[in-house]
């Protein structure tokens, strides 16, 4: 069982930066594949970035490549999402997610077993 709590959301102007944190509880964090998703108002929840458990390999959606960076510190049971050069279209509720499984890329919502409650990110123009 993994419990996830996000923090770090807020209101920022376009071009600004935010860092989201996701604190995980449970002994399986270090062997969990982690991901960030976001959901804009009236839209489906979309994949943003992910990180594998074994080698820390990261991957991201095309819309955020070069601007967002996912990272993890296993000793702190925490995964981060550094968001730079934010745009109004990045606005939404950001969710942290986890799964136990093979060491590969996971980009679909249904693949993740554990979810946080979400944190709001609003980017003003």
Residue 55 or 78, more confident? 78
pLDDT at 54: 87
> Cα–Cα distance between 85 and 108 in angstroms, integer?
25
Q: What angle do CA 74, 78, 82 make, to 5 degrees?
A: 115
- pLDDT for res 111: 96
CA 21 from centre of chain: 8
Which value, in Å, is the radius of gyration of the alpha carbons in the chain?
13
pLDDT digits (tens, 9 = 90+) for 24-52: 998 788 888 999 999 999 999 999 999 99
pLDDT of 103: 86
61-114 tens-digit pLDDT: 999 999 999 999 999 999 999 999 999 999 999 999 999 888 899 999 999 999
């Amino acid at each position: 069982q993994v419990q996830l709590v996000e923090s770090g959301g807020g209101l920022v102007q376009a071009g600004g930066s935010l860092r989201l944190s996701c604190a995980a509880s449970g002994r399986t964090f270090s062997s969990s594949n982690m991901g960030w998703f976001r959901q804009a108002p009236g839209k489906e929840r979309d994949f943003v970035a992910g990180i594998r458990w074994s080698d820390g390999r990261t991957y991201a959606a095309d819309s955020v490549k070069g601007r967002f960076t996912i990272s993890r510190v296993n000793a702190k049971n925490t995964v981060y999402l550094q968001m730079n050069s934010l745009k109004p279209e990045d606005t939404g509720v950001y969710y942290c997610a986890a799964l136990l499984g093979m060491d590969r890329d996971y980009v679909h919502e249904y693949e993740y077993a554990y979810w946080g409650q979400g944190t709001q990110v609003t980017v003003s123009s």
